[in-house]
Amino acid sequence: MGMVFYTPQQVPCSPENTELQDYPPMENSCRIRLRDGRYLAYAERGIPRHESRYRIIIVHGFGSSKEMNFPVSQDVIEELGIYILLFDRAGYGDSDPNMYRSVKSEALDIEELADKLELGSKFYVIGVSMGSYPTWSCLRYIPHRLASVALVVPVVNYWWPSLPKSLTKLDFRKKVIRWTLRIASHAPALLRWWVNKKCLPSNSSLERDPTFFNEHDMEVLKHSKGFPMLTRERLRQQEVFDTLRTDFMVCFGKWEFDPIGMCDPFQGSTEGSVHIWQGQEDKVVPVELQRCISLKLPWIRYHEVPKGGHLIVHYSGMCDVIVKALLVGEESLAHGI
């Protein structure tokens, strides 16, 4: 499938185009009970599920929740007949923690949630940022349930065996993650003290740090709630800290499979596709890593947004582009951007 690049004229990235859109929930969030007794909380958006043509599950990232803003326009929702399901991953929001959390358990939670809500034999999945590792897990463990998948600014595990060490050797993020993993594993109390006393100087947390966000991201954050679980106030809560710690450790720990060594889960099928959307100026996930992955996995449709940072889902019109590419194919976008 190769790489697809969008010019700034095609995908608006200027500050004046970063106002967040929202659409009303169909109903208040509810919870379903899983086989192991845990509860998962969810919220529904868009067309009622039994009247919809397309059913999409959104997987939120680190420090987020089912309340995340994924601003698909109402016009696109109604035009295509889209039902959107957002849920709190284990330990987040109103969902119970999973003391046995693993890469695989994330996919199984998604599958069971889909079954409980009767989404049908196949559904679409969009994973955002660290919500990408449950999405990779879906591709590995439940590919038969997937209609198509999009990974938006997906995080990369620096210890995937097929990721060239020469590409990551000098990356400061790798060193930070390695240090954090060691402390989180062997001295979680020390990590909690360090995060609260040293890393978070104020309740605004790290969400306006130019180390992580480019100028367009910073403009987005002026109009958003940021990352509510990453404030000092929330991190003082033991259950919040434990959820973030275990989520981080699973994401960047040892996996049972190497995504870069995966075969096309839709091979031989006329339907189904996998997309990666990456900001060219993403300071959280280097663009070079995504380019490498897309080259090693030519069945992935890779889209790069010039001047885009880590918060491209909040850029004006971006979610419409992502959803249309996922549901009806890139060809239909030729005259639509």
Q: Flag whether pLDDT at 183 surpasses 80.
A: yes
Q: What is the pLDDT of residues 268-290, one digit of tens each?
A: 777 899 999 999 999 999 999 99
Burial of 337 (0-12, 13-18, 19+ CB in 10 A): middle
Report the pLDDT value the prediction gives residue 17, as an integer from 0 to 100: 40
Could you tell me what percent of the chain has a pLDDT over 90?
68
Q: What is the pLDDT of residues 59-111, one digit of tens each?
A: 999 999 999 889 999 999 999 999 999 999 999 999 999 999 999 999 999 99
CA–CA dist 95, 92 (Å, integer) = 6
CA–CA dist 223, 9 (Å, integer) = 22
Q: Which of 84-93, 206-215, 292-301 has the lowest mean pLDDT?
A: 206-215
Q: Flag whether pLDDT at 331 surpasses 50.
A: no
What SS3 class is residue 24? coil
Domain ranges of the chain: 3-333
Residues 6 or more apart from 223 whose CB is under 8 A from it?
18, 19, 20
Average pLDDT over residues 5-32: 50
Q: Flag whether pLDDT at 336 surpasses 50.
A: no
- C-alpha triplet 291, 284, 160: angle, nearest 5°: 55
CA–CA dist 67, 282 (Å, integer) = 23
Question: 29 versus 129: which is more confidently predicted?
Answer: 129
What SS3 class is residue 166? helix
The top-level CATH class assigned to 3-333 is alpha beta
Looking at every residue in the chain, the average pLDDT score rounds to 86
